[in-house]
Amino acid sequence: MRVVRHFDLDAFIAAAAPMSLRGAASASSFQGSAYAMKQSPPPPEERVYLATFGECGAAVQRDESPLFMGQSDPEAAVAFADDVAPDWPKLQGVVGALPACEAFARRWREITGREHSIRVQLRQHMLTAVAPVPAASGAPRVAEEADLGWLLDGQLAFVEEVGIPDSIERIRRWLPKRVAGGAFRIWEDGGPMAFAGFNDAPPEFARIAPVYTLPRHRGRGYATALVAALSRELLGRGKQRLFLATDVSNPTSNAIYARIGFVAETDEYHFDFVDPVA
């Protein structure tokens, strides 16, 4: 087998389809990314990597983001490392099942000399029905253009708090597009308290992210009520499954999503690549 780079989004979706047998929540990232690019094509200067390795591996990477491999095999991970290194030796990181990430990191060190560190352990979840949750004061509403300033501040706070490798420039590019497309909800209770975004590009599922409550408003059930309301809305619009990822080390968010009805499916790791210490 060999790595196949895809430049046709539909071809990539078809080639990556077998990954769903290894976990629907994880594999949704491949299909979701491709559909999102069909809806909103990336600018010509943005780097895009879509690749498969037979039926045992798939990878997607955009701009300065880490390379996502999901539940790919270690053999596929090594092949992706060999394929990516000549073009992007300064790759920020890699996300996937632990054996795949370890195999990728070993090969990456051999090729580039760069070491790795673990940023976060992630857990992929799936929901098909929303469980009853306690009511919270206030109500959800669709985010509008007038909310962009508040949402930008909130997204930057979210990125800093959870340690996501993102830049203000990239956030400024994608946030207005997603708000204009109706892909953000805000929980309003005398003012904006929390927000949740989603990607509903494929017809049968959606991925929910990001979700954030401002620190001073936490503990009042806003995030639980907002994600439950958004989940009911999306299922009511015909979505069959909803997916999201959590930080395993955050018991609060994991408890919130379990209460709503999300079921844990697979674990993945985010490795950062760093230059060796002199």
| DSSP per position, 131-151 | PP----SSEEEE--GGGHHHH
Look at residues 226, 217, 170 and name the one whose alpha carbon lies nearest to residue 198. 226
Instruction: Look at residue 52 in the predicted model and tell me its pLDDT.
Output: 98
- Quick: pLDDT tens for 233-247: 999 999 999 999 999
- Quick: pLDDT tens for 11-37: 999 999 999 999 999 999 999 999 989
Q: Does 147 lie in the same domain as 38?
A: no
Which range (115-119, 131-135, 166-170, 228-232) has the least confidence?
A: 166-170
Q: Does 143 lie in the same domain as 236?
A: yes
Q: Does 217 lie in the same domain as 137?
A: yes
Segment 163-179 shows an average pLDDT of 84
Range of the domain at 189: 130-260
d(CA 250, CA 252): 6
Q: Does 8 lie in the same domain as 56?
A: yes
Quick one: what percent of the chain has pLDDT higher than 70?
Answer: 99
Q: Does 82 lie in the same domain as 147?
A: no
More confident residue, 90 or 203: 90
Tokens, residue 259: 């209460």
Look at residues 147, 96, 4 and name the one whose alpha carbon lies nearest to residue 105. 96
Tokens, residue 32: 């979701």
- Asked if 216 and 194 count as a contact pair (C-beta separation under 8 A), the reply is no
Q: Does 43 lie in the same domain as 105?
A: yes
Q: Does 119 lie in the same domain as 146?
A: no
Check residue 143 and give left, alpha or beta (phi > 0: left; psi -120 to 50: alpha): beta
Number of domains composing the chain: 2
* Angle formed at CA 169 by CA 25 and CA 208, multiple of 5 degrees: 20
**Taking the CB of residue 146, how many other CB atoms lie within 10 A of it?**
8
Q: Does 143 lie in the same domain as 54?
A: no
Longest CA span, the chain: 58
Checking if the pLDDT of 278 tops 70, the result is no
Residue 215 phi, psi (nearest 5): -50, -40
Q: What is the CATH number of the domain that holds 226?
A: 3.40.630.30
Q: Does 202 lie in the same domain as 155?
A: yes
Look at residues 35, 62, 12, 9 and name the one whose alpha carbon lies nearest to residue 198. 35
Q: Does 136 lie in the same domain as 59?
A: no
Residue 110 phi, psi (nearest 5): -65, -40
- Quick: pLDDT tens for 94-113: 999 999 999 999 999 999 99
- pLDDT interval class at 200 (50, 70, 90): confident
d(CA 37, CA 25): 19
d(CA 262, CA 250): 15
Checking if the pLDDT of 160 tops 90, the result is no
Query: Which pTM value belongs to this model?
Result: 0.93
Q: Does 108 lie in the same domain as 204?
A: no
Q: Does 171 lie in the same domain as 119?
A: no
Residue with tokens 């490392």: 81
**Taking the CB of residue 240, how many other CB atoms lie within 10 A of it?**
11
